[in-house]
Each structure stands twice: as C-alpha cells, then as structure tokens.
Amino acid sequence: MEKQVEFYFDFGSPYSYLAYKALPGIAAAHAAQIVWRPLLLGGVFKATGHNRPAGNRAKSKWMHEDMQRWAARYGAVFKRNPHFPINTLVLMRGALGMQMRGPNFHKYVAAIFHAMWVEPRNLGEQQELAAVLRQAGFDADAFQSLVNDPAVKEQLKKDTEEAVARGVFGAPTFFVGGEMFWGQDRLDFVAEALTR
C-alpha cells in the first residue's frame, strides 16, 4: 500500500501556505501520496474554542518574523497580506468543490495561495476574487455556482466536523496513519513518520 500523508489546510493560514510549499518535496522523497483535506479553520476554531493566533499584537509581530524565517528556509516567497484576516468560507468551498468536480483542484489551490501570500490580494472581496480566478483561467460565474452548490456547502461542513472529531484544532495538520502532527514546523516529524 502506498504511503500517505493527509494535509488539512485553510488558505487563511499562512503556515498552511508554508506547508504547501514544503510538503510536496517531503512526500516525493518518501514516495508518499498527499491526501489534500480542505477544511474551514473558522469552523474548527468555533468547535474547539480556539482563538485566532494573530489576535495578540505581540504574537502577531513575532509570527510575521517567524514566517519569514520559514519561507527563507523553504525557498518560498512570502508577503504579509494587508487584508488579513480574510473570511475563507468561499475560498474553502471552492477548494472542496474543485476537488469534488474535476482536474482543476491543484491549479486552483496554487492560484489562491499565490493571491493570498505571494502577491497579496483581498480575496474577501467578490470582485477581487473574480479577477484572480479569471487571471488563473477559471470562469468566475461557474465558480459562484460551484461554491453555492448545497452539496459542496454540506461536504465542507461535514469534512470540518470530521477533522475536529479526529482531534484537529488548527491548520496545517497532518496525519500519517494514526499519528497527528500540527504545524508546518512539525514537518520533520512527518518525514520521520513516513520512513516507518
């Protein structure tokens, strides 16, 4: 059986973006498949009583510096999004809908992470999001239909609830078999778990 690493992520999590940049190399080095698990981090926080880490001014300043260190380590471009925090409900419905409906999931994920953390855009604004989608080759009207599909809405809710039931309390979270790892700074442990 092929090795797998499950990757729970939300576009609003800068550490999810950093994990997105680093995880494919780790998975490839260990001949492992990434199982992509979009979730709604706001739903996780609500269910677990967890607060947004950047809510504390001193911690927010430290986190920005810390993210720059990790981005440099991974060779990734990272820019603070001046519109942060952004409600990611529509973005995460888009990820799940793309995953459910066809081959454009990875193209979508790349475009949204880029627009969130590389060339920061206000993805909470519908017109701005539509422009980003069009630039990436997506039909913005079809996207609106996708994210308003009751099946997509329900699946994201269900997947987020299932993540919480598994013990997920933040993003990024990884599972290798039954072992859970939280935070992109635990990727060394993920790599180690993939050797067993």
Interacting residues of 114 by C-beta distance below 8 A, sequence separation 6+: none
13 catalytic residue (yes or no): yes
Nearest to 20 by CA among 29, 9, 4: 9
d(CA 92, CA 163): 14
Which of the following is catalytic: 13, 16, 60, 145? 13
Cα distance between residue 67 and residue 14, in whole Å: 8
Q: Which residues are catalytic?
A: 13
